[in-house]
């Protein structure tokens, strides 16, 4: 099993290209099931989760091709994937495929909307909380689907098609909004989705669906209105930049010091997190096509944050920010309101010398003068990259085990950091 070894102490200087967003690419790929025509997606990151979803969709009979490298593309930038769901031979997503990635459960929406039936295993993914699918199932039931749970599978049927409805989510759910949005595009009549997720990835999915012929208004707000259509067509669409990767590298620069240009990204996608970074003493400046991040020698200031749905501070940046706060002047409070079990990285950061106290949904981080390298274990995708950030400044050598979590969400991580001066390498086997 691969490991990553880091020798800490080097500031980051240079430029890093930001990849397409995994959290946008996955629902966009799934949306190809809504049409028999070809959906071409550009700026798709090269990640394990992308490969896993392609295997699941191939199991349905989806044909896919990955375009050859285009001018300006490198192994650190996105790829172009064409998906054609003309001949679907199966509407069952088996456990052995779905169990590896939570988002794959969302295939239930387009399969049900287009074919009237779907059988999808209950999902797997990172162990960062229960993340139940009850709200996703509720949304489909509101649209007229009959739902049964049988042997760990969700079996959904709508032989006469789905019908528009009013869907009121009791809490904000990105997965539920994706599922309701995709299903509603082919439903008869009008669907109103209230308390919808406002994340940029939801708006990106809606923008692509509109290109495919869907009638959607309000995406990016808390109320989305969808007028169902009889069919959708193919189109071309570029995946938006990964705001979580952007924030991760920005925090790495804040941690190590230095001066890095983050290319091919959009500061507006994570403005709250960037404002928090500025409060910590980091300079963030928008540039044409990206942003520049640098920190002078004045140290890191402690800042309190609470995770919230967009446009608040992203839960997917909580672990990275906690790593940054381990070196801050003073004590910071980090409150996690999205997932109840997303502090598993705390014990691993403590192995590096971090001083962190847990109290319910809050972590209190006492900044320390320095961290020391040690063997650590990745527990989930975002936790694993927080250990990388800490390792970049830890004295001596840090070895991160179980880095397959990193491969699920960060494209060419070692190469991107190494080009900016980090002493980082992958140990195979």
Residues marked as binding for phosphoenolpyruvate?
22-23
**Adjacent-strand bridge partners of 263:** 17, 290
DSSP notation for 125-155: ---SS---SHHHHHHHHHTT-EEEEETTEEE
- Per the annotation, binding residues for UDP-N-acetyl-alpha-D-glucosamine are 102, 131-135, 316, 338
**Adjacent-strand bridge partners of 376:** 400
- Per the annotation, binding residues are 22-23, 102, 131-135, 316, 338
92 flagged as catalytic = no
Location of structure tokens 């942003």: 291
Please identify which of the residues 92, 126, 208, 420 carries the catalytic annotation.
126
**Adjacent-strand bridge partners of 300:** 328
Tokens representing 129? 């909380």
* Torsion sign, CA atoms 347, 122, 335, 277: positive
Secondary structure of 401-416 in HEC code, one letter for each residue: ECCHHHHHHCCCHHHH
DSSP 8-state secondary structure symbol assigned to residue 315 = G
Q: Are the beta carbons of 136 and 108 closer than 8 angstroms?
A: yes
E strands of 140-271, at which residues? 146-150, 153-157, 166-168, 190-194, 215-217, 223-227, 235-238, 258-263
Name all contacts of 347-350 with Cβ < 8 Å and 24+ positions apart.
Answer: 348/376, 348/377, 348/378, 348/379, 348/383, 348/387, 349/322, 349/323, 349/386, 349/387, 349/390
Residues with Cβ within 8 Å of residue 33, at least 6 apart in sequence: 57, 60, 62, 85, 88, 107, 110, 111, 114
Phi first, then psi: what are they for 185, rounded to 5°? -60, -30
* Torsion sign, CA atoms 48, 42, 88, 140: positive
Q: Are the beta carbons of 189 and 163 closer than 8 angstroms?
A: yes
As annotated, the active-site residues are 126
């Amino acid at each position: 099993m691969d490991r990553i070894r880091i020798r800490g102490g080097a500031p980051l200087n240079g430029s890093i290209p930001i990849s397409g967003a995994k959290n946008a690419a996955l629902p966009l790929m799934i949306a190809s099931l809504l049409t028999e025509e070809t959906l071409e997606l550009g700026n798709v990151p090269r990640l394990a989760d992308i490969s896993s979803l392609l295997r699941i969709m191939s199991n349905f009979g989806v044909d896919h091709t990955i375009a050859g490298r285009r001018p300006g593309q490198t192994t650190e930038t996105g790829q172009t994937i064409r998906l054609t769901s003309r001949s679907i031979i199966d509407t069952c997503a088996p456990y052995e495929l779905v169990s590896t990635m939570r988002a794959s459960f969302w295939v239930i929406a387009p399969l049900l909307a287009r074919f009237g039936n779907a059988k999808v295993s209950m999902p797997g993914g990172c162990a960062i909380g229960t993340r139940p699918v009850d709200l996703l199932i509720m949304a489909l039931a509101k649209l007229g689907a009959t739902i049964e749970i049988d042997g760990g599978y969700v079996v959904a049927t709508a032989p006469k098609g789905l019908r528009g409805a009013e869907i009121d989510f009791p809490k904000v759910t990105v997965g539920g909004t994706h599922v309701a949005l995709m299903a509603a595009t082919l439903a008869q009549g009008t669907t109103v989705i209230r308390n919808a997720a406002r994340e940029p990835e939801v708006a990106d999915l809606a923008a692509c669906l509109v290109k495919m012929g869907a009638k959607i208004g309000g995406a990016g707000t808390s109320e989305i209105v969808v007028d169902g259509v009889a069919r959708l067509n193919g189109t071309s669409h570029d995946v938006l930049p990964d705001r979580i990767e952007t924030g991760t590298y920005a925090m790495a620069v804040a941690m190590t010091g230095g001066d890095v240009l983050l290319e091919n990204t959009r500061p507006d996608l994570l403005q709250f997190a960037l404002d928090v970074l500025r409060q910590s003493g980091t300079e963030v400046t928008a540039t044409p096509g990206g942003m520049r991040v640098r920190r002078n020698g004045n140290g890191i200031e402690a800042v309190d944050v609470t995770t919230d749905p967009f446009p608040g501070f992203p839960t997917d940046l909580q672990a990275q920010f906690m790593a940054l706060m381990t070196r801050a002047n003073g004590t910071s409070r980090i409150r996690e309101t999205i997932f109840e079990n997303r502090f598993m990285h705390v014990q691993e950061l403590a192995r590096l010398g971090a001083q962190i106290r847990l109290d319910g949904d809050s972590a209190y981080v006492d900044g320390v003068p320095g961290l020391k390298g040690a063997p650590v274990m990745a527990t989930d995708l975002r936790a694993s990259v927080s250990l990388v950030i800490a390792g970049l400044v830890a004295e001596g050598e840090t070895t991160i085990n179980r880095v397959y979590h990193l491969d699920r969400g960060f494209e060419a991580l070692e190469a991107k950091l190494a080009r900016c001066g980090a002493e980082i390498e992958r140990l195979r086997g």
